[in-house]
Every structure is written in structure tokens, then in C-alpha cells.
Amino acid sequence: MCCNLLQCAAMCCNINPQVSGTIKQGLAVYIFQEVGMNWQGFTGRKSLSSLGLWLGLFCLCLVLVISCARKPANEINNAGNGGDRITIGTTLKVRTIDPADAYDIASLWLITNMGDRLYTYKPGTTQLEPQLATALPKIDKDGLTYTIPLRQGVRFHDGTPFNAEAMVFSLRRFMDNKGQPAFLIGDLVDSIKTTGEYELTIKLKKPFAAFTSLLTFAGLCAVSPQAYQNLPDKFLADKFIGTGPYKLDKYSNEAVKLQVFDEYWGEKPINKGIDIQRFSSSANLYNSFRSQNIDVAYQSLDQDQIRSLLSEASSKGYQNISAKGNSVTYMIVNLKQPPLDNILVRKAIATIINRALINDRVFYGQAEPTYSMIPNTFNAYKPVFQELYGDANIDKAKAFLTQAGYSKDKPVKIELWYPSSSNVRSLSAIIIKAITEKYLEGIIQFDIKGVEATTAYGYIDKGVYPTFILDWYADFFDADNYMQPFLECTKGSPQTGCTEGASQNQGSFYYNEQANKLIAQQRQEQNPELRKAIFTQLQQILAQDVPYIPLWQSKDYIFSQQNIQGVTIEPTQLFSLSPISKK
């Protein structure tokens, strides 16, 4: 039986949670009962009608579970290959497999397994190692010039030889085509040129200590100049010709077939190929895995489905591969909108958050509370929000609000926005509101509002939303990517806030000259320990000024059948396909 009605309805029949207010209201009843809170006090409705609603929704959930138990025959006809090919199921939708335009999880995952970059990470570690390069770059004393020796004897999937000219072509194309991720090096790189048949030199506009880490980004892989040179359009969305261990055989929105590249220069995959099947819902992915129609279930099962598979693992032989994730969910706080321009109000909100309760009631422990924008997978992590505010410190929150001039008779009212497609962020907002209603006696009042994600992204940088719950997936594995995109402001003042720059794009409009200086300083600093100390200062500034409130960081789960081996999640969250095989 589904324990989470909203997720049950959505996963079984693709019901948009925003369309069905009845389902959402019933779920809220459940949450309040679970946390020992009074739904009647929260809404003013009689408990009897709430009980009836709950029972009705319970029956609805049973019907939905029965209906979703049917196999989605139209989606799994191509799944479950025999032999040494591996079938992977996912709900991720690939937008494009052109490296110069790919900026979503699904696309970058595919490209990572089909292409090679200059650098990657040693398996099982966060240690950089050469891939198409043969050594770490030689960096001039000014920190601007990187000289990189390249591997010889490498061929692209179309037979074209790899050399420095091909690598320069690939990197310049990434910048010049102005795809979604082009800014990653476009804002940093001054020039790229060959300085030998198998050597290239990159000159930066300004020093950036994490540049070698940035070169591991999947989109910065080598692509065949012969295949991409004379395209009628700028991008090749449904083809890929790189140098990686797999080459693309078939591609559609619903299925991808990868073949082993026989001329691969490095260690070849253990399996004979990969079949990736996309499912329209997590329910169909879940059912297909339980029916053994796929070998591996990857991205994304919901919390109830993960809990179910974990409970069945020992009896049915399912293998659970889990790891701490690097994505962070946080609340944007718009400093330009009253009353959030008052630091005391921002501190009160930071003090109210009960991360442990959210993790328990919304995620069933399948996430992890975080107290900084830098995840605890980095050694630079400092739990600054825990140290300053704790969790659900009601007395401290009341003190902040009283000092700001608010009371029961003069409450502070704040809109709390979230993407309407995200159940977990909706439920988290409900819990935040419920805690304030129950324990803060109306001094602070949240008005919860959902909006379609693509609509929200078009307005966040315009300052429309006073608060918003978002998540962040870093572009590369470095603490800089959790600080600079949030705190840096290239144009602004303490009076106007940020008018141009990263924090304006994020919707907080935060301006702090000291933060700007520290970001520039750590980007130039080559000593890891000194950089770590600078990140500590940045996190302390973040906690003191509260332009963002970190909430939780993800945990990643992959499930595989009993006869599958070699499935791993790297510390950098890379899911490599090459080591997977059948026993």
C-alpha cells in the first residue's frame, strides 16, 4: 500500500498534484497526523470531514495501486535483453546529446559514458587523473596559462584520428556555439591553441584554481571535427561521435542503444553493450524492475518505491547501491522584498526550519539535512547554520521576530514558493508552515504557492518571488561551484543590492563586498588548505546574512538485479556503465 497519497496518485496515473487539490489536502491531513499536529487548527475544518476525506483518499490509493500494478507493455517491449547486454531503466528525459548544448542530468550522463574529456577522476576517489591528457596541466606562475600534453593513438567513433587540433576544435565549438553550458569556459578562457601535434595551451582571462576540475565537465569532451565541422545547424542533437568506450547505435526519446567501441584506446567495457529504456513514470520503472524486465533501475524512484525495494532486498535479492549525493536543496531569500530585507526576519526563518523532521516525514530518511550550501561530501563543509541557528529553535525565532517588531497582533506574512511538479518540496513547505502555525502562535504566517518550474526560472532573476525552494546540481566537483554561483555579485552596492551577477540570477540579490573579494581570492589560491580556510569564511558570511537557507542534500539510489555486478556510484556522483556485467 502507498503511504504517501500524493506520490501514489502521481506515480500511478500521472496526476498533476496541483490539479488535484483534494489529493493534496488529504496528504496534508496525513502529514499533520503523523507529526502529531492538529489539522483542524491548521485549516479550521472539522476533524470528522477530514477523517472522511482521509478514508476516501485511502480507498482511492488502493484503486490506484491496483491499476498501476499493470505492466506498461508499451514501454517495456524492448527491455530485458539476454546475453551480456545490460538493460537500464530510467525516467530521465534526454534533451540533447550534443556536448556543446547539453546541460541536463540525463544528457550529461550519456555523454560521460560515450565521450572522453581531458581529465576525469580516479575510480572510487575524488582524485583528478588524465583521460585524453597524459598528465596534469603545467600551470604558469601567473595562474593563467595551462599547457596540456595529449594522448596519442586515439580514434573517434568515425575513425578520425584524435590530436591537438581536434581537441581545440571541440573546446572552441563548445564556447562559440553559445549552447546552454557555454558560459562555463566562455567566461573564463581567453584563448585555446595548439602548441604541438599532441599539445594544447589554454590561456585564462583571470586565474581560476578549479579550472582543471572544470575540464572534467562532460560537455568538454572531444568530438570528431569531421562529423561536426560543417553542420547545417549549430547542434547535432541526436548524434554523438566522440572517443569514449561506447558509441551510439540507436537514439530516440524513449530508448538509447550503446555499442562497445572496439577501437577504444583504454580499458574496454566488461559488458557487450547497454540498452537504456526511458519510462514515463517512476511507477512504471518500479514495476518493470520488480518484474525483472530491466537489470538496473536508475533515476528516479520516489521515496515510497525506494523504501519498498529496500525492504524486499534481502528476500528477492535486489542490490541497493546508495551514496551521499552532491545536490543541495535550499530556500532563496529575496533581500529586496520587505519584510525579508530585515536580517532579523531572515534569521527567524533560518531558526524555524526543522530539517530532521522534513527528512523523516518527507524522505523517510532517504536524504540528509544540510547546514551549508557546500555539501558535506566536501572537506570544506562547515555546518554553519546548525551552529548559529540549530533546528526548530522556537524561542530563538520568537526573539528574532519580537526584536523586529512583530507580534500576534502584528504578524509577518511571507509567500513561500516551490516548483509545482516537486512533491517533496511541496510537502516540505507544508511542514514549514505547519510548524510556524503550531508553535509560533501566528507571529509569522507563510502563504504556500506553487508554480510551474520553467515559468519560475524565467522570473526568479527578476525578483518576483520573495522566497523559493530550489535544488542545485553542481557543474563540476569543487566547492567553488557551491559558493560563487550564489554569493558573487559583479555589479551592485549595499544600498541597491545586486543588479548584475550570480546572486541576482539566483533571485536573492545579495551583495557583500567581502564575499566578492573572498571568492576572487579562493579562485586564485592554489594551496588547498588555504582555499579551504577561505571557504570557511564564505560559509560564515552566508550564515550571518542569510541570503539562502540550506535544507537538505540528496542521497543517490540505484537498484540492480541479483545477477548484476559492477554497479557503483562514484564520489563525484558519476554512474559509469563500463564496469557493469552479469554474473
- Measured distance between the N- and C-terminal CA atoms of the chain, rounded to whole angstroms: 33
The confidence band for 363, taking pLDDT boundaries of 50, 70 and 90, is very high
Query: Residue 208 is placed in which grid cell?
Result: 581560476
Q: What is the pLDDT of residue 342?
A: 98
Q: What is the pLDDT of residue 32?
A: 52
Closest CA to 348 of 383, 390, 414, 396: 396
Cβ contacts of 19 within 8 Å, gap of 6 or more: none
Q: Provide DSSP, 200-250.
A: EEEEESS--TTHHHHTT-GGGS---HHHHTT-SSS--TT----SSSEEEEE
Higher pLDDT, 116 or 83: 116
Q: Looking at the predicted structure, is the pLDDT value of residue 415 above 90?
A: yes
**Grid-cell match 525578483, residue found:** 463
Over range 352-364, report the average pLDDT: 96
Closest CA to 200 of 215, 188, 219: 215
**Long-range Cβ contact pairs of 238-242 (< 8 A, separation 24 or more):** 238/96, 238/97, 239/97, 239/98, 240/97, 240/98, 240/99, 240/110, 240/111, 240/114, 240/115, 240/157, 241/156, 241/157, 241/158, 242/99, 242/111, 242/114, 242/115, 242/116, 242/156, 242/157
Q: Looking at the predicted structure, is the pLDDT value of residue 80 above 50?
A: no
R_g over Cα of the chain: 25
Query: Residue 355 is placed in which grid cell?
Result: 530539517
3-state secondary structure at position 557: strand
Among 81-90, 136-145, 272-281, the minimum mean pLDDT is found in 81-90
Q: Looking at the predicted structure, is the pLDDT value of residue 179 above 60?
A: yes
CA atoms within 13 A of residue 504's CA, in its CB half-sphere:
13
Cβ contacts of 22 within 8 Å, gap of 6 or more: 53, 57
Over range 83-92, report the average pLDDT: 93
Q: How far is CA 412 from the centre of its chain?
A: 32
In this predicted model, what pLDDT tens digit does every residue of 218-254 receive, in sequence order? Answer: 999 999 999 999 887 899 999 999 999 999 999 998 9
Over range 341-350, report the average pLDDT: 98
Among 19-33, 63-77, 391-405, 488-502, the minimum mean pLDDT is found in 63-77
Instruction: Indicate the average pLDDT of the chain.
Output: 89
Over range 447-457, report the average pLDDT: 95
Q: What DSSP state is assigned to residue 502?
A: H
CB distance 515 to 487 below 8 Å: yes
In this predicted model, what pLDDT tens digit does every residue of 374-396 receive, in sequence order? Answer: 999 999 999 999 999 999 999 99
Higher pLDDT, 264 or 28: 264
Q: How far is CA 326 from the centre of its chain?
A: 7
Cα dihedral 374→379→384→390 (10° resolution): 100
Q: What is the pLDDT of residue 383?
A: 98
Among 15-19, 209-213, 575-579, the minimum mean pLDDT is found in 15-19
Q: What is the pLDDT of residue 82?
A: 53
Over range 279-307, report the average pLDDT: 96
Note the pTM of the prediction, 2 decimals.
Answer: 0.86
Residue 466 Cα distances to 359, 418, 580, angstroms: 24, 11, 46
Q: What is the pLDDT of residue 505?
A: 96
Q: Looking at the predicted structure, is the pLDDT value of residue 1 above 60?
A: no
In this predicted model, what pLDDT tens digit does every residue of 111-139 receive, in sequence order? Answer: 999 999 999 999 999 999 999 999 999 99
Q: What DSSP state is assigned to residue 155?
A: B
Q: Looking at the DSSP assignment, which residues form a beta bridge with residue 549?
A: 331
Among 70-74, 155-159, 480-484, the minimum mean pLDDT is found in 70-74
Q: Looking at the predicted structure, is the pLDDT value of residue 37 above 80?
A: no
Cβ contacts of 307 within 8 Å, gap of 6 or more: 364, 366
Higher pLDDT, 231 or 489: 489
- Taking the C-alpha atoms of residue 275 and residue 297, their distance in angstroms, rounded to an integer, is 12
Over range 430-457, report the average pLDDT: 95
Query: Residue 112 is placed in which grid cell?
Result: 560521460
Q: What is the pLDDT of residue 40?
A: 38
- The pairing of beta strand 491-493 with beta strand 497-500: antiparallel
